[in-house]
Amino acid sequence: MRGRATRSAFALGSAALLVFGVAGCNQSSPEEGQSQTSLKIVEQIQIDENGTEVTADASQAPADPRGDGNAACSPLSLAMAGALTGPDAALGINIRNGVQLAVDQHNEANPGCQVQLKTFDTEGDPQKATQVAPQIVSDAYTIGLIGPAFSGETKATGQVFDQAGLVATTASATNVTLSENGWKTFFRGLANDGVQGPSVANYLKNNLGNTKVCVVDDSTDYGLGLAQAVRDTLGPVADGACNISVKKGDKDFSAAVNQIKGVAPESVFFSGYYAEAAPFVQQLRDGGVTANFVSADGSKDPEFVKQAGEASKDAILSCPCGPATGKFAEEYTAKWNMEPGTYSTEGYDLGTILLKGIDAGKHTRAELLDFVRTYSGQGVARKYEWTPTGELTNTLIWVYKVQ
């Protein structure tokens, strides 16, 4: 859980945290018995890797998928791959909705160039993603991809897209090693966990003055990578007595709660997704643990607040995703009857970049890939420009809080 991406009530000064969530239309409604609450995830500040506050640049208008309305092309398609069903579906739905908005705006403005968005549901499962990837690359009309959404599924399929020469832009996969595989088609549309981890760790140490933090990961590629970055930066502040790994899909965290309670930390950092973060924070509060609950982009989703209820109050969340603003936020809300969720913005921006390439006459996979490699332009969330390994040249983190 992304943009996607896109609120704090304590002196945030300079720092960073991590959370990754996503909300979108048609996401699964909360199960019976889930808490209802008026709490929301609210953005606070934008920071760099050192935890220094950075003022968002509003001097340039973001790229518009509509272009000049004169684009001409034969029928082409873009693909979007990610979790559209399952416990983490909100993440993929947010991204899909952002991309679909960009495609619809483009097609309405450019009758001479109609682009279809083909969506592929991976459920966020690497094994299912490996079954989907061949379907995407075998479609000759598909010349660009937004996805996969999660780090594990991106790792499992990157070689397939690279061999096919298909540009693959991810709106939410943040594991550091994804850009270290030699793939020439991989482009990450946000900061990676090598930025997120140190940011949140430095925030806890330097801004909150924590001297004892429990770090809990969910044993996924995403959770392990992020937790390691946090632990490395925290150093001795990461208490070894509560260095805990749980499993994706767990609902009973009583053993972890008891272990954390015995250590009495000032903060608990959870490296995982909202489906586990919600019951975990509930059980921490029920168990009498009052430490700050901190998480990363995988948890930054309205579903986390909806499922955790009042237990989510004051949770600190951060995300490399930018908050939705201005015209984009208005148009997204009007189309989907809900506000943009985490990584909706990144999905929109990445879709817009690929559409701009098509409008510039880049109608083959090779041409569109070269277009993205040399692209430089402002989006809704940030400026997009990539290094040869597919990392952004500028990476910043947003800090959020549930209030």
The phi and psi torsions of 365 (rounded to 5 degrees) equal -60, -45
Kindly state the tokens that stand for 275: 């489906």
Can you give the pLDDT at residue 39? 95
Q: How far apart are CA 172 and CA 342, in angstroms?
A: 9
Q: First vs last Cα of the chain: how many Å apart?
A: 21
pLDDT for res 36: 67
Backbone CA torsion sign across 88, 92, 93, 94: positive
> Can you give the pLDDT at residue 373?
98
Of 178, 177, 176, the closest CA to residue 192 belongs to 176
User: 3-state DSSP call for residue 358?
Assistant: helix
Q: What is the pLDDT of residues 184-236, one digit of tens each?
A: 999 999 999 889 899 999 989 888 899 999 999 999 989 999 999 999 999 99
pLDDT at 325: 83
Going from N- to C-terminal start, the domains of the chain cover 62-191+323-394
Distance CA 107, CA 174 (A): 31
Dist CA 340 CA 220 (whole Å): 26
- Tokens, residue 303: 């579903």
Can you give the pLDDT at residue 136?
A: 98
* Beta-bridge partner residues of 147: none
Q: What is the pLDDT of residue 41?
A: 92
CATH number of 62-191+323-394: 3.40.50.2300
CA–CA separation, 247 vs 309, rounded Å? 22
pLDDT value for 49: 79
Residues (pLDDT < 70) of the chain are: 1-36, 51
Q: Which residue has the tokens 């483009």?
A: 106
Q: What are the strands of the beta sheet with 167-170, ordered from one edge?
A: 115-121, 76-82, 142-146, 167-170, 186-188
The per-residue pLDDT for range 81-135, each reduced to its tens digit, is: 999 999 889 889 999 999 999 999 999 999 999 999 999 999 999 999 999 999 9
Neighbours of 118 (CB within 10 A): 15
CB 306 within 8 A of CB 30: yes
Chain CA centroid to CA 88, Å: 12
The reported pLDDT for the residue numbered 4 is 30
Residue 208's pLDDT is 87
